[in-house]
Structure 1
Amino acid sequence: MKRLYICLVLVTVIVTAGIMTGCKREFLEKPKGGDITVDTVFHTQKQANYAIADMYGWCVPTGFVMNNSADSREDVLTDQVHLLLPGANWVAGNLNYQYYVVGGMTPTTSIDRGPIPQRGNTAANAFSGWYKSIRKANLVLKYIDKVTDAPEEWKTDVKAQALFCRAMAHYSAFRLFGGIPIVTEPLAGDGKIDIPRASIQSLVDTLVKWCDMAAANLPATRPTTDYGRITSLAALALKARILLYAASPLYNTPPGMTAAIAGARYNDGRDTVLAYPSYSKERWKRAADAAKAVIDAAPASGVLLYNTGKPLTTAKTDNYAGLGDYEAVCNNVLGTTGTYGSPEMILVNTWNQNDPNRDGWADWGRYNSSKVRMQEWGAKNNVPVEFLQLYEKRDGTKWTATPSGTDFKAYFEGLNLDPRAYQSLAWGGQWYNGGKTFLAYYKESADKAYAKGRLADDTNAGDNYGSAVECAKFIARVDNNNDNHFAWPIFRLAEFYLSYAEAMNEYTALAPEAFQYLNLIRQRAGMPDKDGTMLPDQEAFRKAIQNERTIELAFEDHRYNDLHRWLTAHIVLNKALNGFAVTASANGIIPKPTNPFLNWNLVSYGTRTFPVKYYYVPFPYTEISMNYLGGKGWDGQNPGW
């Protein structure tokens, strides 16, 4: 099968090596036997490319689980994925998951894990990592003109990439903390920032300006050898996402929602670093226009919503030709031949393809991202029933889980859910691929006729829940379990269809364009359209578009920020979560079937706790102690911490 592996120029050499070694060596570090200085690094185009690749490695994010025993999906912070404790204490350590889910986050045990090269560090050191990322971009911006053998067009392109990277690094911290210091020059070697937090107004305006400047000087397309490099469309996409967040209630709080967030505000002038001073509907118009600009510019960049009219994955197939359109997008696959590089992707991180240690993810990435990938030791990424129920049935209706039964495989598949569910999940009894024809999530049968399945334990701790549904998005299933065709979708076009629909409804209730772009996403998925009869008012549409975004972008690192910006996290994440658990049984059939029936029941995953102060992550004490974040008489810490 023809497949095209495309790597970002020089990132294979520099970035992936940095990832796998913890980036202990940076491009300006003095090596044995000589000096590396700004003048030597930025003397030739070849040398400068090392600095550019290093910048990408620090500034361009990925949601894939890294080769680190403490790493995990960010989804564990939401209702999408639940790791069972205490068995999973060793997983998600760099997110401090075990503290976060019970309301125990602190400045030293926060969820901030910093940029990719620092994902193994503690929260106390993570925040400064964002400014190391920013420094990488600022160094390129400041010194790229020193390169003696490169054309001006190349330098202009590189400076635009660096502007994007600087904006992305600032955005990555903003989405957690709110207003942060804006840094436009390379910091000194000691890394001390010594710049106060910017207001939301100033920060958003600055990031948008950088995105506009970058877009104006970036090409619309890149050659296939540069797959993963930033384009003008990527800059427009970052701008659109920032403006959508800025228009949302967390930062642009309407009068009716101020009480919900009061516990995470100072309710005085300091709140400018947390939100705009007052609500403005015009921010939604600005967000809508930015999302539409992405949609309108997409064709010139060769980007389109991938829709071949095949919403369903062909039953019992494990090849590219059998994939439904949604699963093909998530596998970053173009067409039935399995060619790498989905046309829906605006910007991806290609790290997974460039892992030098083996064909795909290093072991911890495979073990911690699902149980089903390795079919043995690892952490089960359980999907709670409460999240599963957000998937509509194929006819567009809601459903409620039946608490128990005798054939889980038949029950779950017979629900006839939104096809995106079956293309994102693994479940008990599923025909997964030719090598895994009946997923053995089950506990031992009561009569001992069936030993527990190899997927029964949720971790390596023998907890034996028999939990039966886990996330399988970005988990190798086709092409003989080949991990290499995945790339992390930083931006894909579907996001901006949904952003446009959301923003248009907020600006003009039930705008026709809102229905149009909502339904384009649903049509690709094989789901029925929504119309004004079903969604008669702005609130009904708001709930529908929020649910659609949740489903379409599930397990892609959107849920955390969406729940926060909508000001619904304190509702959704303050509740008990439950899961399906299955036990093997012959159900009276003699001789017993080769594959058991799976009797199921609902089991408690425990209760999540989300204090209102969680809306803004606390700065680590190390930063607060340096007294630069706030103004006179204020240390700059977020409220409640």
Structure 2
Amino acid sequence: MKKIYICIALLACLVASGCKHDEWFDRESKSTITDEQLWNDPKLLTSLLANYYNRLPTLHGVFNTGGMTELDDAMWSGHRDQNWRNDYQFGDDYGRYWDYGLIRDVNLSLENLETQSVRLDATQKNLFRAELRFIRAFVYFEMVKRMGGVPLVTKQLIYDFSGDPTPLQVPRAKEYEVYDFIYRELEEIKADLTANNSSKTRANQYTALALESRAMLYAGSIAKYNSLMPNPISTPGGEVGIPATMAADYYNKSLTASKAIISGPYALFNENPDKGANFYDMLNKKTGSEVIFAKDFAPGVKVHRFAYDNIIKSMTEDNESSSTISPSLSFVESFSYLDGTKGTLRDKDASGNYIAYTGIGDIFAGRDARLYGTVIYPGTNFKNNPVRIQAGVAVWNNGSYQLTTSAELGKNYTDGQLWTGFDGPKDDAMDVSNTGFYIRKFVSDASAASTRGTSATNWWPWFRLGEVYLNAAEAAFELGRAEGLGYVNSIRARAGFPANSLTALTTDIIRNERRVELAFEDHRYFDLKRWRIAHIVWDGSESDPNAVVRGLYGYRVVRPGHPDNGKYIYERMRPSRFRRARFFRLANYYSSIAQDVLNNNPKIVRNPFN
């Protein structure tokens, strides 16, 4: 009977003039957002964009410690169940990225914006449209630099249930066609992005130019260096491989975009007179004018655990935090001396005898300040506290030194002085440096940043001015223009080198500058690929210092009565946990396409070698 009364009451509301529509059926839902609300509310659209920005890809993901040890100048020193990272051979699918889910979401959003955003003013609509197209261009760049040419899909594909899926099977575009699409998109939208020019976390005019700067440099490099290979990597349809004749145009486009940014509102970060600390602060502090576009983090909203994963051993704030990235000796030696000489550390003299140093950090004196800003090495500080990196003692015995380490970190030797530092290094150890070095770059020094409860909030740089200077230098150099020299010298001056420290550029100088300036920022792997030298650098040779991670251990000399007593000597070593040299094959220049993609679309051409 109660049900009948309810039905009668509802019917009465429908026909009676006293019942208002907004009281019942036209009342706005408290839990559901309608299309009309979404596409006409700037705040809701901004939230939708935030979701898409959050899905922008990197090779392994933002602040991915394990990925950095696979492709940068470092080894894994964390939990043993992941020690396979030190035996890593790049598989055919390494770096694969084929995200048409995100492409579809963006395409659908663009279409809805056109048809349903009737209450947005033209400026708002143009801005949201431009941001969506930027995200799509970014995703296509991330796909083309891994996969080569990919299907260019710019509208949603809808199945008509006819039984014929052919209209949905889009073939791969030529590799250069994808780069050309990216360029056209960015050129068309950059003016509409000026409303965001004050933002570092949403695409703006200069963010579009930064993507142009990077993408066009990649295209130019592939056009040039792929053609110089004994057997250029290509497919008959051009899905892989860019004609060499296109290189100059791409380099010109990269240089033009770079110069527009350099003449814009940004400046190289230079707020701290201590050049090494300044380089660290550049990405640790959310101040200054170098960062163009970043993925941001905030307490209680979104945090990351990079400090938790990589805090130096003696400064852990959480009983489960770790020290998993151990930078390589080869990387440390890529930072040259300020007098212009190569960065090879002077551990022995010409006769092969140890060189003894008064302080444990003296061997690193006079170096490019970016070394300090990137790596924690013996004799330095972190969080205003001295690090305790010492491998052991060197005891003089029968005409030679006997190098010994303590089984226990932080223990003193029989003479009452330090034997092995609490920060190691220690061979075959877990959660302590295995090479003699820790990573400093990106490891937040904020209070409790290395704890699970608080974590870190420093940002991840998608684009910053330092890269743009190097992009400009490389493009200018490839075009035979002298202006590239000034860009590199500006970067070096910020690192403590004298003004105009270089008088000429070479390919090796440019490539090494990128190695030291952009370390651990998701560039190294792709730089080596676009220059077509990855298979040379990571050649699988057990004697190659770049294919094999090596370390440098410092020992306190115990030689009473001798002038070297109490000084420090250094020994090069190969960590036991680094099992096998890295081996990059020709097949790795383009990642394999997943079998399900090939099965679903017979028009998709396989990549070479797989």
Q: TM-score, normalised by structure 2?
A: 0.76
| Equivalence for 1:394 | 338
Deviations 1:389-438 (CA, angstroms, capped at 9, x unpaired): 2111011211323266666963555432101101111123432233x423
Corresponding residue for residue 45 of structure 2 = 48
Is the Cα–Cα contact under 8 Å of residues 150 and 239 in structure 2 kept in the other structure? no
- 1:611 and 1:355 map into 2 onto residues whose CA distance is 43
* TM superposition shift of 1:496: 1.5
Closer/same/farther in 2, CA of residues 144 and 458 from structure 1, 3 Å limit: farther
What are the within-5 Å matches in structure 2 for residues 619-638 of structure 1? 619-628=593-602, 630=604, 636-638=605-607
Instruction: Look up the match of 1:416.
Output: 366
Distance 1:220 1:392, change over 3 A: farther
Structure 1 residue identity aligned to 2:304: W
Any idea what the Cα deviations from partners look like across 1:145-174, whole Å, max 9, x if unmatched? Answer: 423543221111111100100001111111
Contact 2:234 2:240 in 1 (8 A): no
Residue 137, structure 1, aligned to residue 121, structure 2? no
1:343 aligns with 2:289: yes
Cα distance in 2, alignment partners of residues 407 and 186 from structure 1: 66
Q: Deviations over 1:41-69 (max 9, x none)?
A: 33533433332221222237597756xxx
Q: For the residues of structure 2 that align with 1:158 and 1:328, how far apart are their CA atoms?
A: 33
Aligned partner of 2:95 in structure 1 is 111
Q: Note the 1:262-411 alignment, pairs <5 A.
A: 262=232, 264-266=233-235, 269-276=236-243, 278=245, 280-296=247-263, 298-299=264-265, 303-308=266-271, 310-313=273-276, 323-324=277-278, 326-331=279-284, 333=285, 340-350=286-296, 352-353=297-298, 356=301, 360-362=303-305, 365-369=306-310, 371-372=312-313, 374=316, 377-401=321-345, 402=347, 410-411=360-361
- Structure 2 distance, partners of 1:463, 1:62, is 24
Counterparts of 1:60 and 1:78, CA distance in 2: 16
Aligned counterpart in structure 2 of residue 616 of structure 1, from 583, 590, 596 = 590
Displacement of 1:238 after TM fit?
0.6
Quote the Cα distance in structure 1 between the aligned partners of 2:568 and 2:431.
18
Question: For residues 550 and 44 of structure 1, what CA distance do their matches in structure 2 show?
Answer: 44
Residue 620 of structure 1: CA displacement? 2.0
Q: CA deviation at 1:578?
A: 3.9
C-alpha distance in structure 2 between counterparts of 1:41 and 1:552, whole Å: 42
After superposition, where does 1:192-203 map in structure 2 within 5 Å? 194-203=169-178
**One-letter amino acid of the structure 2 residue matched with residue 625 of structure 1:** N
Offset, 1:210: 0.9
1:250-308, CA deviations, whole angstroms, 9 ceiling, x for partnerless residues?
333475x221x54x444xx2344333365543332232222222223x22xxx222335
Partner of 1:118: none
Contact 2:69 2:75 in 1 (8 A): yes
Counterpart of 1:640?
Answer: 609
Aligned 8 A contact 2:309 2:323 in 1 = yes
> Displacement of 1:512 after TM fit?
2.9
Q: Number of residues paired by the alignment?
A: 530
Q: Give a deviation string over 1:119-163, Cα, whole Å, max 9, x none.
A: xxxxxxxx44x2222223223211124235432211111111001
**Aligned-pair identity (%):** 23
> SS in structure 2 opposite 1:47?
helix
Match of 2:223 among 239, 251, 259: 251
Taking the aligned partners of 2:268 and 2:137, their CA distance within structure 1 comes to 26
- Select 2:206's aligned residue among 224, 230, 233: 233
Equivalence for 1:123? none
> Contact 2:268–2:466 at 8 Å: present in 1 too?
yes
Cα distance in 1, alignment partners of residues 425 and 330 from structure 2 = 21
Offset, 1:462? 4.2
Name the CA shift for 1:466/1:599 in 2 (closer, same or farther; >3 Å).
farther
Distance 2:434 2:59 in 1: 30
Measure, in 1, the Cα distance between the counterparts of 2:550 and 2:388: 17
Among candidates 68, 82, 86, match of residue 90 of structure 1 = 82
- Whole-angstrom distance in 1 between the partners of 2:48 and 2:478: 42
SS at match of 1:270: coil
TM-score of the two chains, using structure 1 as the length reference = 0.73
Residue type at the aligned position of 2:281: A
User: Within 1, Cα distance between the matches of 2:512 and 2:594?
Assistant: 34
Larger Rg: 2
Residue 271 and residue 370 in structure 1: after superposition, are their counterparts in 2 closer, same or farther (change >3 A)?
Answer: farther
After TM superposition, give the deviation of residue 232 of structure 1 in Å: 0.7
Which amino acid in structure 2 is aligned with residue 111 of structure 1? G
Task: State the 1:182 CA deviation.
Answer: 1.4
Q: Distance in 1 between matches of 2:130 and 2:432?
A: 52
Instruction: Name stretches of at least 5 consecutive residues in structure 1 with no aligned partner.
Output: 1-31, 113-126, 314-322, 334-339, 591-595, 631-635
Partner secondary structure for residue 386 of structure 2: coil
**Partner Cα separation in structure 2 for residue 55 and residue 294 of structure 1:** 25
Match of 1:122 in 2: none
Does residue 437 of the first structure (1) align with residue 429 of the second (2)? Answer: no
1:182 aligns with 2:152: yes
Give 1:544-583 correspondences, 5 Å limit.
Answer: 544-574=509-539, 575=544, 576-582=547-553
Q: 1:580 to 1:460 in 2, by over 3 A?
A: closer
1:436-494 per-residue CA deviation (whole Å, 9 max, x = no partner) reads 42334646438865575444377996497742112210112366768656211111112
With over 3 angstroms needed to count, the CA separation of the structure-2 counterparts of 1:170 and 1:597, relative to structure 1, is farther
Secondary structure in 1 aligned to 2:338? coil
* Alignment-mate amino acid for residue 584 of structure 2: F
Q: Report if aligned partners of 2:388, 2:424 keep a CA contact under 8 Å in 1.
A: no
- Give the CA deviation at 1:241: 0.9
Kept after mapping to 1: 8 A contact 2:552/2:572: yes
Say which SS state the counterpart of residue 348 (structure 1) adopts. Answer: strand
Give 1:612 deviation, angstroms: 1.8
- Given that 1:428 and 1:598 are in contact with CA atoms closer than 8 Å, whether structure 2 keeps it comes out as no
* Counterparts of residues 498-517 of structure 1 (less than 5 Å): 498-508=470-480, 511-517=481-487
Letter in 1 for 2:111: K
Q: In 1, Cα distance between the equivalents of 2:501 and 2:552?
A: 37
Q: Which moved more, 1:47-56 or 1:191-200?
A: 191-200
2:409 matched to 1:468? Answer: no
CA distance in structure 1 between the aligned counterparts of 2:57 and 2:101, rounded to whole angstroms: 13
Partner amino acid for 1:543? D
Asked if 1 retains the 8 angstrom alpha-carbon contact of 2:326 and 2:433, the reply is: no
1:206 equivalent among 172, 177, 181: 181
Counterpart AA for 2:514: R
8 A Cα contact 1:134 1:169, kept in partner: yes
Alpha-carbon distance in structure 2 between the residues aligned to 1:621 and 1:448: 59
User: What pairs up with 1:27-46 in 2 under 5 angstroms?
Assistant: 38-39=35-36, 41-46=38-43
